[in-house]
Chains A and B, each alone.
Chain A
Amino acid sequence: MSNLLEVRDLKKYYHLGKGVGKEQANVVRAVDGINFAVKKCETLGLVGESGCGKSTAARVILRLLTATAGEILYEGQNIELLSHQQLLPYRRKMQIIFQDQAGSLNPQLTIGSALGEPLRIHRLVIGKKELKAKVEHLLELVGLCSEHMCRYPHELSGGQRQRIALARALALNPQLIVCDEPVSALDVSIQAQIINLLQDLQHKCGLTYIFIAHDLRVVNHISDRIAVMYLGKIVELAGKKALYSGAKHPYTQMLLSSIPRLAPAGQRQRTIFSGELPNPLHPPAGCHFHIRCPHAFVRCTIEEPLMQMIDSDHNVACHLLDK
């Protein structure tokens, strides 16, 4: 299958002001040279702890933020170079849904007008009748009914609002939807409903997802391939089976072992890793992970590891591979 989206050496730096008494301006490398490709109709999961740059990466890919460097190829076209006007057709193809469903819907707009807005802006419907029919169809698609059209966001539950956000993303018949922590704020039973809905829609509409979450269980469930990020870099990228059964990077292993399992205490062994995410303003030299890594050796403190392919669908950036 061909690649729908390809990201090459993408960087997003934030320059912080020169504070009083500081010698040089600080730079936060939120996204620091990431490479990946997303095939048509697949789901790429993006996991990492908070502050690792996964949301920034998503926003840069959609050009909601401007990249500092790098290329974003959508069906071979570098959208980083396009003007605002030229970008419009691509906006239609790429949509995003957010974690905070209440904050992403305008409280003053009824559900009907919120869903109709993208259709009007992109002139995809003619006349009120067609608009109404299309909005009804969208609501049906996400498991709601036409009576929700005249409701306001505050009248709906969290799960329903997330369905509306999804319907709005679907309004323009996109190919790619970036889901930024779409189920993190929802209750377990509602979370399952939304995950199933996402999977159904993927089959029905032929969608491609970039699915961002901090919960490896959810990402693992929905994704075909998973990229693990740490301090602005991808440290491991693999098919989900390979990642679950044969994680090579110590950070991935650490994430996997941190996940609480449904096995009562005493029935399994767990290794607890110490340490927390370092300050992204001053990331450690060499491999960013070396201060938390149980296997770190001298080379890790000096040289940054490069991405290596160890299998057709398994890439890891770690010096342990050469050892």
Chain B
Amino acid sequence: MLAEILLELRNLKTKFKTYDGEVKAADGIDLTVHKKEILGIVGESGCGKSATALSIMRLIPSPPGEVHADKMELNGVELQSLTEKQLSKVRGSEISMIFQEPSSALNPAFTIGEQLIEVLILHQKLDRGAAHRQAIKALNLVQIPAATQRLADYPHQLSGGMRQRVMLAMACACMPSLLIADEPTTALDVTVQAQILELLCQLQSELNIAIMLITHDLSLVAEIAQRVAVMYAGVVVENASVRNLFAKPRHPYTQGLLASLPLLNAERERLNVIPGGVPNMLNLPKGCRFHPRCPHCWQICRQQEPPLFSQNGSEVRCWLFAREMNK
């Protein structure tokens, strides 16, 4: 089952110049998103997952940011060569993005109807009446009850879950081919989180969009994604199908993350702990970035950074697999 490639990202480097030195938020990221798939990107805070997403959207402010990739193609179009005008056409209609905090992503001074209609008029060149009808359709799509009345509501009149639905309606109104969801459920309650996840799955199958789900919660990815990329300190350390990753996590970091999650069935008396903390991005350890926290660290890990080893579509950045997998 090899679907067409939608987004191809090769060797993405996103740097920020700070007073203390250069921070490489993304340091050579390779990612591929196929059409109609849900790709989960998992990592702890500061590992560069949001920086990667913003780089794809070309939303990193420069200065202090600096984005460079060998390849950043969406549907065969190199995003880095586009002008600002061409870009704003791509954003919203080809790629759209939703964020963690829906209340700060919506403008408090306009009704959600005005904000939704604006998107439709700008991108689809609809007239006001058609845009209004389309906006109601979009709200129905994300299962907001009494859509016509809700159009006249201001963001503060809606609950957090409803606001995130509005964001989704706005993001999907122009039928993008890629939706980047950056921690879409982190600010929500578990019951509402489950509803939003279900909605994401539905949107993906009904509208045939690909979703890049960025989260810190591995279990969310297990719920809805087909493939997962695990990130650590600016690099992808493991990239595999969901089934493979959870059945047989390869990278010691992935193993550690999975073992540190509390489980519901109370089989785990004590949580496994990854010792230490995330490294300072200004001063990364030499060799493998994970080696100071790794239980399997050996000589080469301290000296040389491991490349991505791959086998049967799974990729892992760890010297332990140098023999059994291909470079």
Could you say which of B44, B191, B192, B265 contacts A187, with CB atoms under 8 Å apart? B44
CB of A82 within 8 A of chain B?
Answer: no
CB of B304 within 8 A of chain A?
Answer: no
Q: Are A258 and B190 in contact (CB under 8 A)?
A: yes
Q: Are B220 and A260 in contact (CB under 8 A)?
A: yes
Interface residues of A (CB under 8 A from B): 49-50, 157, 159-160, 187-193, 195-196, 199, 214-218, 220-222, 240-241, 244, 254-265, 270, 272-274, 276-277
Q: Are A260 and B222 in contact (CB under 8 A)?
A: yes
> How near does chain A come to B194, taking the closest CB pair, in angstroms?
4
A sample of 17 more A-B contacts (CB under 8 A), given A273-B195, A276-B191, is A157-B277, A188-B217, A188-B218, A189-B277, A192-B262, A192-B271, A216-B190, A241-B266, A254-B191, A258-B194, A259-B219, A260-B219, A261-B222, A262-B218, A263-B246, A265-B242, A272-B194
> How near does chain A come to B48, taking the closest CB pair, in angstroms?
14
A244 vs B266: C-alpha distance in the bound complex, in angstroms? 9
Q: Are A220 and B260 in contact (CB under 8 A)?
A: no
Could you say which of A188, A256, A258 contacts B261, with CB atoms under 8 Å apart? A188
Q: Mark B225-255, 1 if CB is under 8 A from A, else 0.
A: 1100000000000000011001000000000
A159 vs B274: C-alpha distance in the bound complex, in angstroms? 13
- Residues on B with beta carbons closer than 8 Å to the beta carbon of A192: 260-262, 271-274
CB of B197 within 8 A of chain A?
Answer: yes
CB of B193 within 8 A of chain A?
Answer: yes
Q: Are A218 and B262 in contact (CB under 8 A)?
A: yes
Q: Are A49 and B190 in contact (CB under 8 A)?
A: yes
Q: Are B198 and A272 in contact (CB under 8 A)?
A: yes
- Residues on A with beta carbons closer than 8 Å to the beta carbon of B268: 221
Number of interface residues of B (CB under 8 A): 45
Closest B residue by C-beta to A271: B194
Could you say which of A221, A265, A277 contacts B266, with CB atoms under 8 Å apart? A221
Q: Are B216 and A188 in contact (CB under 8 A)?
A: yes
Interface residues of B (CB under 8 A from A): 44-45, 159, 161-162, 189-195, 197-198, 216-220, 222-226, 242-243, 246, 256-258, 260-266, 268, 270-274, 277-278
Q: Are A262 and B194 in contact (CB under 8 A)?
A: no
Q: Are A189 and B273 in contact (CB under 8 A)?
A: yes
* Given contacts A244-B264, A261-B264, A196 and B190 within 8 Å (CB-CB): no
Q: Are A217 and B217 in contact (CB under 8 A)?
A: no
* Given contacts A188-B257, A189-B257, A215 and B190 within 8 Å (CB-CB): yes
Q: Are A195 and B271 in contact (CB under 8 A)?
A: yes
Q: Are B223 and A265 in contact (CB under 8 A)?
A: yes
The 9 closest A-B pairs by CB, nearest first: A221-B262, A192-B260, A260-B219, A258-B194, A192-B271, A187-B44, A49-B189, A189-B274, A258-B190
> How near does chain A come to B210, taking the closest CB pair, in angstroms?
16
- Residues on A with beta carbons closer than 8 Å to the beta carbon of B195: 272-274
A258 vs B272: C-alpha distance in the bound complex, in angstroms? 24
Could you say which of B45, B226, B258, B263 contacts A217, with CB atoms under 8 Å apart? B263
